[in-house]
Structure 1
Amino acid sequence: MKSEEVIQYLQDNPQFFSEYADILANIHVPHPYDSKVISINERQIITLRDKNRALQDRLLELINFGEENDAIGEKMHRLSIKLLTVSSIDELLEGLNNDLREDFSIPHVALRLWDISCNDMERIEFTVTSEDIHTISESLTYPYCGTHIADEIKNWFGKDASDLQSFSMIPLKVLHPIGLLVLGSPEAKRFYSEMGTLYLKRLGELTSAAFARFDLKTGILKK
C-alpha cells in the first residue's frame, strides 16, 4: 500500500485506533530530535509541546507588536499636541523636525514645501523644487517606502545622501499638494516596500492638518 492509501484508510476508519489500541501502544517511531525510537503516545506529546511552544512564541510576538504600537501611538499623540499648539509655520517646522529626530529616532529628515508663505522664506524647506517633485507628491496616495528615490530628492540630504539605504516619501496636501516629507535611514530594512504605512500616512495627515491651520498665502494663523 502507498502512504497516501494508509492515511486515507485511517481517516476513513477512526475506530481502528480503539479496536487495536494494544497494537498501537507497542508501535515505536523515530524521535524527531534524536536517534532513538519512542512510542506513538510519546510522539504525540512532543508534537503537542512543539505546538504549544509555537503558540507561546506567536503570543510573545503579538505582545511585542502591541507594545511597539502603543509606543508609536504615544509619540504620535505628543507630536499632535505640539503641532496643534504652535502659533507660526516656523514653530511648526521646528517642532516637526525636532520630534522626528529625537522622539522617533529618525536622524535624516528632509522636507520641501511650495505654495506656502512663511516669515522666513530663506529656510531650506522652501528651496525651489522641480515640477517632477510636485508630480511625485500628487501621485502618492500612500507613503512610499523603499530603496529608490529620485536623485533630486536624495540630494536634499546633502553629504549624508551617500550613506542612506532606505527612504519613506510622505505627501503633504491641503486641498492640493503643498510638499513632500522624506525620511531616510542608513539601514536598508528601516523603510521597505512590504512594511505597513498606517503611522506614516497618519504622520502625513497630521502634518498637513497642522499646515491647514494657517493661511497659506500669508503664513498667518487662521482665526
Structure 2
Amino acid sequence: MTEEQVVAYLRNNSDFFIRQEDLLADLSLPHESGKAISLLEKQVTILRDRGIEARHKLNDLLKNARNNDNLFETTRSLVLSLMRAENVTEIAEVTRNQLFKHDNIDACQIILVEHPHLNVSQLIKVESLEKLKNDFNDVFRLKRTHCGAVTEEHLAYLFPDSDQKILSTALCPVISNGEILALIAFGNRTENYFNVNLDTLFLDFIGHVVGAALDRLLLANIE
C-alpha cells in the first residue's frame, strides 16, 4: 500500500483512530524540542496553531472593516461639503480639511492645475500642468491613485507645512472629462502604510468626486 493510499483511507475513515485507540497511543511524532509527542498532542498543537491563525485573520478583517467604515464616513462628509462649496477655493479647503481629519491621514495637500479661469486664494497651491506631469508622470499616465514612497524632494514639495515625518504617500489624480484638474496627496507616518497592495477604491472615488466639483465651478466661471 502506498503513502497516498494510506492518506486517502484515513481521510475517508476519520473515525479510524477512535476504533484503534491502542494504535493511537503507540504512535509518536518528532517535536522541535527533540522529544517525541503523541499523535493526539500533535493534533492539538495543529488545531491550536490554526486557531491562532484564524484569530489573526479575523482581527485583520475587523481592522480593515473599521478602516473602511472610517474612510466611508470621511468620504460622505467630503461629498456633502463639496456640494455646498460655492467656489474653487472652498473646494480645495474643504477637500484638504475633511481628509486631514481621517485617523490614517497625517498630511494632506491638494494642488490645483493652472487654468485660465482659475481664481483662488493665495493659500491654495497651484502648479502648471507641465510640472505636475513631469514630476508625477505615472500618476496621471495610469489615471489612478499611486501608493508608495517618494523622494525627499517630492515630500518637501507636497507637504511643506507638515510637522510630521511622512514615510509613505498616496497620490490621487483629479481628472474630469479627460482633463487633469488637480493632484491630491495623502501622507502617513508609517512606512509602507500606503503601499502597492493597498485597495485604492475610496481614494480613487474621492478623486472623481473632487474632479466633478471642480469641473462644475470652472465651467460656471467660463459661462
Q: TM-score range by the shorter chain?
A: 0.7 to 0.9
Aligned mates of 1:152, 1:40 — CA distance in 2: 58
Aligned mates of 1:19, 1:56 — CA distance in 2: 29
Question: How many angstroms does 1:93 deviate by?
Answer: 1.5
Asked if the contact 2:107–2:164 (Cα under 8 Å) also holds between the matched residues in 1, the reply is no
Per the alignment, in what secondary structure is the counterpart of residue 84 of structure 2? Answer: coil
Per the alignment, in what secondary structure is the counterpart of residue 188 of structure 1? Answer: coil
Q: What is the letter of the counterpart of residue 141 of structure 1?
A: K
Provide Cα deviations, 1:118-171, integer angstroms capped at 9, x if missing partner: 443534422x43614136253132111111259467424336599433222111
Could you state the TM-score of these two structures normalised by the residue count of structure 2? Answer: 0.76
Q: Compared with structure 1, are the counterparts of its residues 201 and 164 closer, same or farther at alpha carbon in structure 2 (3 Å cutoff)?
A: same
In structure 2, what is the equivalent of residue 209 of structure 1?
Answer: 212
**Which of 189, 195, 208 in structure 1 is aligned with 2:192?**
189
Aligned mates of 2:143, 2:216 — CA distance in 1: 22
Does structure 1 residue 56 correspond to structure 2 residue 68? Answer: no
Q: What is the letter of the counterpart of residue 4 of structure 2?
A: Q
Asked if the contact 1:149–1:167 (Cα under 8 Å) also holds between the matched residues in 2, the reply is no
Asked if the contact 2:172–2:207 (Cα under 8 Å) also holds between the matched residues in 1, the reply is yes
* Residue range with higher mean Cα deviation, 153-162 or 47-56: 153-162
In structure 1, what is the equivalent of residue 117 of structure 2?
Answer: 117
Aligned mates of 1:61, 1:162 — CA distance in 2: 26
Aligned length: 215
**Which of 178, 185, 192 in structure 1 is aligned with 2:181?**
178
Question: How many angstroms does 1:197 deviate by?
Answer: 1.3
* Residue range with higher mean Cα deviation, 115-124 or 188-197: 115-124
Q: Compared with structure 1, are the counterparts of its residues 34 and 7 closer, same or farther at alpha carbon in structure 2 (3 Å cutoff)?
A: same
Question: How many angstroms does 1:27 deviate by?
Answer: 1.4
Does structure 1 residue 8 correspond to structure 2 residue 4? Answer: yes
Matches within 5 A, 1:58-207: 58-104=57-103, 106-114=105-113, 115=115, 117-120=117-120, 122-126=122-126, 128-129=127-128, 131-134=130-133, 136=137, 138-148=140-150, 151=153, 154-158=156-160, 160=162, 163-175=165-177, 176-207=179-210
Q: Which runs of 5+ in 1 are unaligned?
A: none
Aligned mates of 2:70, 2:166 — CA distance in 1: 25
Aligned mates of 1:111, 1:171 — CA distance in 2: 10
Q: What is the letter of the counterpart of residue 120 of structure 2?
A: D
Aligned mates of 1:150, 1:47 — CA distance in 2: 47
CA RMSD of aligned residues (A): 3.5
Aligned mates of 2:220, 2:192 — CA distance in 1: 39
Q: State the identity as a percent.
A: 20
Provide Cα deviations, 1:18-47, integer angstroms capped at 9, x if missing partner: 798254233142485766544323432332
Asked if the contact 2:109–2:186 (Cα under 8 Å) also holds between the matched residues in 1, the reply is yes
Q: What is the letter of the counterpart of residue 76 of structure 1?
A: T
